[in-house]
Structure 1
Amino acid sequence: MRESAGYRAALAAITLLVVTVAGCWAVLTPAFRAPDEPQHVNSVLRLAYGGDWPAPGEALMGPAMILARQEAALQSDIPGRHWIRIGLVPYTEVDPLPDDQRLRVTAQNALPWPGMSATAVDTVDQMTQHPPLYYAAAATWLHATGTADARWDQLLLSLRLFDLLLLAPLPLLAAATVRTMLGERPGARPAALVAAAGVLFVPMSAHILSAVTNDALVTLTGAVLTWLVARVLTGDLRWPTAAGLGVALGIGLLTKVMAAFAVPMVVLAYVLAGVAARPVLAELRRTWWPRAGRVLVVGVVAFAAGGWWWLRNLLVHGAVQPVGIPERWEPVPNEGIGHFTTTVVTAFTRSFFGDFGWLELRVPPAAFWGGAAIVAVLSVAALVRRDSRVHVTVLLLLPVALWASVVLNAWNHYVQTGWITAVQGRYLFAGLAALAVVTALGARPPARAVPWIVAGGGVVAAASLAFAFHGMYWGPRDSAADAAARLAGWSPLSPGQLVVAGVLALMAGGLAVGACVRFAVVSTSTRVVDTAAATASTAATTDGTGASV
């Protein structure tokens, strides 16, 4: 077996593992218990049933979603919630509605009825502050799969599976980016496999990207941009590559404003393309016009594909990103920059690694601070390496720009109202592939370490699923069987189907580790053979010359 074949098999197995883990999250997470999931589903239904795209703040929740939230007991507290609210019935004490009594979505209840008005904040669908591309694609999926008029729980699962399709290319793109940057160097394939497995070490990504959210599409476009930027950095100045960057950026811009923060990364990539080993200023003076031309193509294509939406917002609404939901709290005096800094850094870090449910179920501090420390150390290691310093600097622009934009937005709101809002780690997921690539370039593991790293990712994923299962379904006086029965009672799947989903994930984990072991064995053997052949060749050419004396 050749090393390349072993690599492809291992990459396919890791991708399968990532998808099956996310699939477990899709069936484990209680209905609508992910950030803004009811509103995301409502906007999909609006387009699926021929509705329009109202101005930000004017879209309403349809009757189907209002009733579905009630049937899903969304106004209850899961047992592991970080702060149990007084007066609410615990989720574990609500009896799941039998399947045949659950609401079915129809043309009569999907859209707001004539004369409906907002009676509370949760009756407003703020998603029309975003462009409609994700929602149109998801609506098309509902019609293609015949689930547009299904029961609400079946429709919800269908949309979650749609987001799994958007997640599936992420490991492949991360691996392709590493291979693009390292070429045929000895450590390229092991590093690529580690990058592919990187999302397993960020459990929140599987939780969020298996829920119904436009973050799924913007994360995919961020990964495509990362891969294409890597191609540019390694000297690919072809016009089709520039056009591809423009299309990917435009799709991202027609999904969410987060895509706009990839622009600095794209521009700097063309500035530094292929000049890492040559004098930068001299090379730029010689080739500035071709580089500028490519950047212009990226900009024109991106604007035509999706950037126009934000100019439209400015002309129609007077703001690039209009507010989609009314202010919910009365202004209060803020508590200073120290309180802001500690709160934002902690909340951002925690919700990047694990703040499950609707930011209800918090992982222990050691988990998210430890994860952040590992990412920081490996990023520094990648920056220190001379052969990756320039490329890593460019890739890190995306997550850094995203982080800075969220913090700045939160600071402005804090100064105006005294409240800290909209600080969520999922807003970094457009740069998730870039972070996976950077950490893999910092680690540069030998082939024999890859199975251990992938196994470690599998353990992190399994532990996170177990933690979420306990925190979401396991009441204080329950047994494991009680919690499992509660999951089955709420799920649109049968108990047998839930067991199959778990078994498939375990099998995918074993397959991934096994494929990586096989790759490590083949890779090590190949290196030994190559070294021996090189040694023999050297001995043959120097024999009799006195060079070996």
Structure 2
Amino acid sequence: MQDDTARARYRFALALITLLVATSAACWAVLTPAFRAPDEVQHLNSALRLAYGGGWPAPGEALVSPGINAARAEAAVDTDVPGRYLDRIDKGQYVDVPPTPDGERTVIGPGNALAHPVPPGTDTSTWDVEQIDQMTQHPPLYYAVAAGWLHLTGTADARWDHQVLALRLLDVLLFAPVGLLMAGATRLVTGSRTVALLAASFPVFLPQLGHIMGSITNDALVVLTGAGAAYLCARVVTGDLRWRTAVILGGVVGLGLLTKVMAAFTVPMVLAAFLLAVARPPEPAPGGAARTGLPRRLALAGTALAVAFAVGGWWWLRNLVEFGAVQPVGIPERFEPVDGRGLWYFISTTVRHLTWSFFGSFGLLDVRVPDVVFWTGAVVVAALCFVALSRGPGRRALAVLLLQPALLWCAVVVNAWSGFSETGWVVAVQGRYMFGAVVGLAAGFGSGLLVLTTLRRGRLPQAGAWAVPWALMGGTVASVAGMAFAFGGFYRGPGEGLGTALGRWAGWSPLTGAQLAVWFVLASAVALGAVAAGVRYARSVSAVAPTADATARKPTAAAGTTGSE
């Protein structure tokens, strides 16, 4: 009975934390100016192309439509926001442009949603980069989902700002289950409800994650499928060696592959999960002997990978056959080659930009948090993951999950080196590419945090439950600070008062000032509720110790639980 109470409070706290994470992303969706997140113009353009039957042209052969060009001009995208790290003398200032009145904003629909087709095989490498929609270098799954959402919500034929908000909220919905998957994977790996709640709170410590998940981006589906794959790998490595699990895992990875090539770096985690799984299968062999040998594990892994290829992996083989490259370049070259930049320039620039844009490089990567913020964040996350791997529970399984972000980091660096060696420019280095592997980092964050809170001699393990409300308060402060910093960088000109900046935000937003105020009041209530739920959970664990969190000493058997109980 006591443990039932603790379990109920755990579930309630997890529900509130999940709501808090989704609410944070939704706040970013209404805070960020239209088209001021990476590639939003092109993402919306590709979604509308599919919504109106424009197909999926070859990479480099898709153009931005007249409607999107009009929207881009009305949103004043070709200006610098006041918080930009460097003002450009040839650009105007965003704060000097009066917001386009609602009634004058272009409606994008059947008459202007499609660009004139480019004849197949046309060389667009010398065209204006702003006129090319490079998203056809990716598979079309996300854009098909987005097109269906536009029709479902009645915004396929609507003002551009309504379309932007609708697709941003779609991505918030895609992001919403990620907190549950973080908690489930972490609970399976560590066996601890407390660590699971700490892991679920990790996203609110990453304002950049909320910013990207509150924008129009195919990364939303990459993050969801990457989190789903990590959760299923947690099941596998903790003993779930059923054929059904292998098939589902392959299907999830395949959906990721049908979204973006980054999903390919989940494959080594899948192989490691099967090879390192504990010997606890649900199916006995004839005669009662357990079938957990290497042949069975390899067969399960092969099944998962075969399903992944059948669902989405074929796209990349098709690219190789048709275009001679796994991922053809869909955008013209933007930089003239330069010489004289050596290895140190590459390393320092790549690591700095990758870390910066993981923790806080808002807008079009131009509103950047101070150095101390992102370096502190990087050191803290790395240190907590190290502590978790050296002293936390379920270290082998945790190492499998951390393989995903480690490989993605290496992949980004290697890809950047390929471009740098040819042109001398460091490109395609963005921290958002790492968000598809955020579950492993969340598990390491939660486990390391619990270890540090229970190191002092004489402290009971369940005492670490009080880290949950403290983490939620710290994460909420980090999230609010990120939004406040971005708000000033987007809307507040030099020497202007807060009221002027708020009025400018309301003027550009598709929502009214009153609607924005109500939304942020509700978001504040969700944050307070999550902290209160964390306090109730910590009290319940303390009251029934040690039974409520006893599973922290032994990981859960994956075959019989979801991991989120």
TM-score by length of 1: 0.92
Q: Which residue of 330, 350, 355 maps to 1:349?
A: 355
Letter in 1 for 2:240: D
**1:147–1:388 Cα change, 3 Å:** same
Retained in 2: the 8 A contact 1:224–1:248? yes
CA drift at 1:139 = 0.4
CA drift at 1:87 = 2.6
Equivalent residue runs for 1:457-536 within 5 Å: 457-527=475-545
CA distance in 1, matches of 2:109, 2:449: 52
CA distance in 1, matches of 2:466, 2:536: 10
CA distance in 2, matches of 1:163, 1:337: 38
CA distance in 2, matches of 1:339, 1:245: 40
1:83 aligns with 2:86: yes
CA distance in 1, matches of 2:216, 2:507: 21
CA distance in 1, matches of 2:349, 2:335: 18
**1:146–1:386 Cα change, 3 Å:** closer
Q: 2:231 is matched with which residue? A: 227
CA distance in 2, matches of 1:273, 1:477: 60
What is the aligned-residue identity percentage? 53
Q: Secondary structure at the match of 2:155?
A: coil
Retained in 2: the 8 A contact 1:56–1:127? yes
Retained in 1: the 8 A contact 2:541–2:548? no
CA drift at 1:388 = 2.4
1:414 aligns with 2:420: yes
Q: 1:266 is matched with which residue? A: 270
Show CA shifts across 1:89-132 (max 9, x none).
11000001110110001111000035799651110000000000
Show CA shifts across 1:16-40 (max 9, x none).
1111111110000010001111001
CA distance in 1, matches of 2:193, 2:240: 21
Retained in 2: the 8 A contact 1:254–1:305? yes
Q: Which residue of 27, 34, 37 maps to 2:37?
A: 34
Letter in 1 for 2:85: H
Q: 2:23 is matched with which residue? A: 20
In structure 1, the gaps of 5 or more residues are 277-282, 532-549
Letter in 2 for 1:303: F
1:169 aligns with 2:187: no
Letter in 1 for 2:352: T
Retained in 1: the 8 A contact 2:7–2:548? no
Q: Secondary structure at the match of 1:85?
A: coil
Letter in 2 for 1:337: L
Q: Which residue of 372, 376, 383 maps to 2:378?
A: 372
CA root-mean-square deviation: 1.8
1:295 aligns with 2:298: no
CA drift at 1:315 = 1.0
CA distance in 2, matches of 1:259, 1:318: 20
Show CA shifts across 1:211-256 (max 9, x none).
0000000001010011000101111100111001100000000000
Q: Which residue of 127, 138, 146 maps to 2:154?
A: 146
Runs of 4+ in 1 over 2 A off after TM superposition: 113-119, 283-286, 385-389, 528-531
1:309 aligns with 2:312: no
CA distance in 2, matches of 1:425, 1:43: 23
What number of residue pairs does the alignment pair up? 521
Equivalent residue runs for 1:120-199 within 5 Å: 120-183=128-191, 188-199=192-203
CA distance in 1, matches of 2:23, 2:370: 25
**1:40–1:334 Cα change, 3 Å:** farther
Q: Which residue of 325, 330, 354 maps to 2:336?
A: 330
Show CA shifts across 1:323-356 (max 9, x none).
1111111111141101111111111101000000
Letter in 1 for 2:81: I
Q: 2:47 is matched with which residue? A: 44
Q: Which residue of 233, 254, 258 maps to 1:254?
A: 258
TM-score by length of 2: 0.90
Q: 1:211 is matched with which residue? A: 215
CA distance in 2, matches of 1:83, 1:212: 25
CA distance in 2, matches of 1:90, 1:341: 33
Retained in 2: the 8 A contact 1:379–1:439? yes
CA drift at 1:387 = 3.6
Q: Which residue of 240, 243, 254 maps to 2:244?
A: 240
